[in-house]
Every structure is written in C-alpha cells, then in structure tokens.
Structure 1
Amino acid sequence: MVKAETESAERAWRRIGAICREMVDDLPHLIPAIVATIRAEIPNYAVVPVTEHERHMAEHSRSLLHGLAERRPPNAEEIDEARTLGRARAQQGIPVELLLGAYHVMHRELWNELVRRTQATDPELAVALVQTFSVLWTWIRGITTPASESYAEALRSRHVTEATLRHRFLDALTAVSPDLEAAVPLAHALGYQPDGRFRALCLLTETWPDDRLDRLQGWLSVLRGRVHSAPRGLVTIVLTQQADTDQVVREIKRADEHCPVGVGLERPGLSGATASIADAEHALDIAERTGGTSYFDRDWLAASLSRQAGRLTPLFDDAVRAAKLDPHLAEAVRAFAEHGLSVAAAARALHLHPNSVSYRLERWRDRTGWDPRSGDGLVASLTALALYRPQADRPATARTPDARLERERDHGTQIDDYQ
C-alpha cells in the first residue's frame, strides 16, 4: 500500500515536471506578458530597458522551472545570478522593495500558469501541486534574500561613490579657477548633461549636519531630474538639472521650515553651473536675514550688494538709522513699492489713511535724503531696506557667532547694522 502511494506520488511529480519543462519551451511567449505585468504594477521599472528586463526574467524563470521539475532549491550559480541582478537594480535606482515586488509578481504569474496547465492536464495532481509550492517557496526565499543583500551592498557602495563624486565635482566647479575640463566626466558620472542647464541652491552647512544632509539627499534623489547636494565649507550646495525648483525648495523646507535658502539663476553649461552657485550664495545672504527663500532673479540687486554692505555703510547710514528708529517709515516705503507706487493702495494694505502714508513717505525723504516717489530715491531706499533687517526679524538659528565672523572675514566686511 505504501509502495503504491509512493509510486503514485512519483508519477505525479514526473507529470508536473513535464509541465514545467513545457513551460520552459514556451518562455519566449510567456515572458513578454509577465514583464508587461511587472511594469504595469511597478511603473518604476520603466528605467530598465525592456529587452534587459525580459532577458533577466527569462533566465530566472528557466532556472526556477527546472528547479521545480527537479524538486531542488536554487544552486550556487543561480544564487549568484540573483546577487548580480540585485546589484544591477541598485545601480539603476530601483528601490529594494520594488525589486522584491517584481520577483513576487514573476513567481505569482509562473505559479498561476503552472496551476492552470496542471488542472487542464489532470485535476488529480492537486496534492502534488501543494508539494510543488513548498519547493517554489524555497526558491522565493533562496533567491530574494541574496538579491536584497547584494542590493544593500551595492547601494552602500554607490552612496560612497556618489558622495566622493559630488565632492570632486563641486570642488572642480567652485575652485578659485574652476576646472571645467575635469568636471565633464564627473558630471556624466553623476547623471548630469554637461552642456545642459543648471540651477544651484545654497544652504547654511551648520544647519545641515551629515546625517540630515544624507536624508535630504535621499528625498531629493527621487525627484524628477538630477539633484545632488554636498557641503563646501560654510555653504551646502544643491545643484539641479531639469528639476522643479519649487519642489526642491519644498523638500528642503519640509526638513527645516526655517532654513534659509538662496536660489541661483538657471544657466547653461558647466560655466553656468559655476555662475549659478555664485548667484545662490549671494541670494543666501539675503535669505539669512529673513529665514526664508531668496531668488537671485528677484533679489539680484540686494544680493549682489550684500557682501559690499560694509563698504557701502556711509551711503546707507541715514536709511538704516531711520528704519531702526521709525520702522513704520520703512514699512510705508515697502508698501508703496509693492502696490504699484500707489499711495491709496499702500494705505489700504497698511490700514491707514492715504494722507498718513504720504506723510510717512515725506518723513522718510527728510530723514534719508531719498525721495521714494522718484526712481533713484526708491531704488536706493529699497536697496538699503533689503540689506538691513531689524534684529527681531532674524531667525534664532540663522547662524552661530563663529560662523558669522568667518563669513564676514571671507567677505571682507563688517556688517553689524546690516544683519
């Protein structure tokens, strides 16, 4: 009786094995559908070329079906193939959970096909199918574990390599004499197009220790386009290409809503990247005074003059003193400029009578010598106000005293009143 049951089970295994080998022969027809299902369920796989994807899936499916037919777990060579695939997906930027998800979809589709064919051939093979599933489960564990381990190793290596490349690339761009020739292969290695358009953003390094910057880089790396960040002394540079600048700023602010951000102009080529970094650094000087975001294309005048504030002090002394002693005068000048040079509109914004706004503009002219109703007087007034912010307007964590002094030494200015 036992012998008969054993022989029956063995026959069932052989029949299932024959079905598995039939499926191997049919893989050229099965694999495109399986790959299409994976790519439909996991859109991130669009970064993997279809031909490459189908080749990897065919190789693994062939090994799996032979393993099921032979009732064995994956061998050393098949495990090495899984490790190779794990490394490849890490280099292509496919998240590990999606790599494992693709394996699961493939195993599911092959199993469903095996069940369909088995039931069509002989419904009495159901018991043998249950035993076959235990072998399939051995394959799932035996393949996905080394694939994920290899993925993690490759990812760690990739992070180290990318961090080194970022530092070398930004060193080349920010040197006293930028080495644009050396920057070309580094740009390619980081995924940039050297002749494309670049935009830089600058942050204060002191507010972004290494662990926070690593997390920020992780968040930025999933955005559209290319975004890399690295500290360069007191300033951390975020260099983007074909990225949504507003979205990059939102990610930075999500990590630290009070973080000052300077945004440069979008400029072409590697020389443009160097210029955009300079733009962003100048804009950061303005952003530090508000804890907000300064765009060079909007604040270019104050940003360009910010590092000359000490030298320009004699020009702005009266305006700074007036803004300190009578901030409502400065408020009226700003409102007048921001509301179409209309006294009535400025008055509505400030909830004042138009005569009160006119009086304040005249008082500003008397105190500073600059008539805000004239072109030159308004430009000079707004520049002084952009360079000066009352101490209360500054964020508490804008910078440490040591860092501030170092920045001032670098700029060659003393800007006690222009903070």
Structure 2
Amino acid sequence: MRIRYFAYVSLMALALAGCNDTLDSASYTDLSTVKNKVEQPLPDHIVADMAKKGMDRNSPIMIRIFKEEGLMEIWKAKADNRFDKISEYHICAWSGRLGPKVKEGDRQAPEGFYNLTPANLNPNSKYYLAINTGFPNKYDAANGRTGANLMIHGACSSSGCYSMTDQEVLEIYAFARDAFKGGEKTVQLQAFPFRMTAENMVRHRLSPNYDFWKMLKVGYDNFEVTKRPPEVDVCEKKYVFNQQSANGGGFNASGKCPADMSTPPALQVALANYDKTYQADYDKFIKKYDDTAWYDPTEAERKAVVAKQRAGHDIAYAPTGTALAAGKMMKVADLEDLMAKQSGQLVASGATVGSSTNPNIKTGRVGAPASNAPAQAGAPIAVASTTLPTDVPIPMENPLAYAATAPVETAQAQPSSKPPFWKFWAR
C-alpha cells in the first residue's frame, strides 16, 4: 500500500513540479494582444464550458485554494444554484509552509474563509492584476493575527501571497469581475492546507496546526455536502458554519456563541451521513499510517524542486514547487527528531517561531467530525433520525441564486441583503 502511495506522490511531483510547464499554453491569452486587462473577456473555451454546465456568464463564483497541491479552483453557480468547478490553476508561488498566517512578516499565506467584494479588486497592481484576500478577517482579528495586503496576484513572486502567472490572474480577475457585474455582493475565498479527506487528515495528524484544520474542515464538509458556499460566522474566536439562532441572536467574534445556535435539521442529517463515511475512511488510514506521518517541507525545499525553472527569467521570478513534490512520509520517531533539529536551528538563528511553523508535533489519534460547536469541536453530531439521506434537499429558494442586476459601477462594497442561509434550510 505504501509503495502505491509513494508512486502516487512521485507522479504528482512530476505533474505539479512546475507552475508553467504543466499548463496548456494554447488555452492562455497572449498578453501582448490584451488592450484592456481589466475588461479582458474570458477565453471562448471557458465560456463554452460554462454553457455546457448550465452556468450564466455573470453567475456567482467561489474560489478554493489547496496549498499542498498548489492549486486554485474557480467554482461557479449553475442554473440549479449549486456550484460546480469551472476552472483550475496551478499556483506559481506561495511562501512559508502549511498552516495559517499568524503575524506580519511570518511569510505565511492565509488559510481560512474570506469574503471578497469589488473593493478587493486592484486593477492597478504592480503585479499585473491583484485581488486582496481580505486578511485579516473577523476570525483572524479576534485571535490577534496581523498582516495586510495579502493578495492573489500575478508575477510569480510571493511573500505571504498566492502568486499566479499573469495569464492566470487575468482569467481569475475576469471571473470575479463578471460575478460582481452580475450582482454578487461577496465572493467567498476558501483557503485550505490540503484537500480535507480522511487520508490527508491522517497524514497530517501530528501537525501543531491540526486543531485549526479540524475547524476549517467543518466548513469544507458543509460545502462538499451542499455544493454551496457556507454561511460563515465567528464566535468564541472560532469559525461556525450554517448556524441558526431561533431568537435571532447575533454572532460576536470574541463573545459567546448564541445559546440556541444549531445546525438546521436537514443539513445536520446530511452532514452526519457524510461524516459516517469519513470516519470509516479515517479508521482505515489510521491503520495504514500507524507509525508514519507527513513531513511538511520548508519553502526552500519547495523552491529547490523547481530551481531549473528560474533560468532565463527576471530575478524577481520565484516559483515554488508543491509540498507534495518536496515533502515525504517519515517514521514518526525520525520526524520528531528532524523537527526538533529544525526548531533548534530557528531558535539559534534568532527567528521567531509562530504557531504556523511550530515544529512541536502532536501525538495520539485525533479525528475531525463535522461539528459546528466551538467549545466541543470533536463532539459527534446528534441526529434525531437514524435514516440518513443520500443527498440534501434543495430549498425552494437560495440566497446565492443568480438574478441579473445592473452592472456594478463602483468599487465600494454594498451591504448584502441576502437572507441568512439557514432560513432556506429550515423550510
């Protein structure tokens, strides 16, 4: 089994080692022909794909990032108001290691859930085009995390940003621009360390960031079940997703969560069904990787696997390879020794070790059930019915339903008037 896994990683390394070499250049726009990058339309092949999937050109989008694989996905609303993936891009460069951004200067790229408005679009970026991630959000601020101007931009150079090629960011910018013109008030950006499958959670179970990732996984699961961006709130300094409060209690990022906060019944049952499969897979992979865990490579190690790509480019061009290409599975004891050694080197050099780069690894088995309760993140979901549906009922209406409106002419975000997500689940 492990031989097959390492073969898989080797194939991924070959496929993802270069952020440019693996892309089909024929599908990208020749930048020398672009007269107005801000209004450059999406390529014809993408427009054709949208038509095949039942997507309107100006329907809402969602952006999803997976650091370990070095991938950025664009998801778009279809006619039934569920989202489907329409495009995927290799991230040319991201700095730091897996884990959230904690403070200014730590070189970490953000992880979490962020709301992008028209004001986040920067048509005048010196990195061709840029979209501000919105870091710090309410969760980051409540937890004292600092930093600013963390972007999705072009130029393939990163110090805490997600940097794409100029051709890629031209398309990503166009997706967001068209969605805003269609009336979408906010585009949700979901930034994850990796796909939050049972196997990946087991591989990374010893990371000091594991508890944070378990919290993100709840939002990941909500999207996987509904195929709609979850309603995101923050209370008790933790993310909560698709929560309702019968008494209309508000969510205070640093304050107590509403006493009657709960998951709508239909969604709760669907999440339990999803989690049942996940837990079975988790038990299988915990046995497979019982004495091994994943070594998360440093930024320097990721750059080393794509060093040849820098030849012939400007000195500022700094692609990074994927963590899958540069990392590896190790014996737990060997991993502990290596991380302790790295910790000593960091302390000796005077570098600050934040929670995102803390080399102390955790021990013991930890699962990640899909619970929204901040104070009991590991508690199982209480389900009234033992009959679990294979799909989630589609509400009669949806807060993210596309309805064409006049184009957005201003860069100022307008207050959202969409009803809370839970009202549609509760019907």
Indicate the TM-score class for this superposition, using the shorter chain for normalisation.
under 0.3
Relative contact order: is structure 1 or structure 2 higher (C-alpha 8 Å, sep ≥ 6)?
Answer: 2
Q: Which has the larger radius of gyration?
A: 1
**TM-score after normalising by structure 2:** 0.20
Higher fraction of helix: 1
Higher fraction of strand: 2
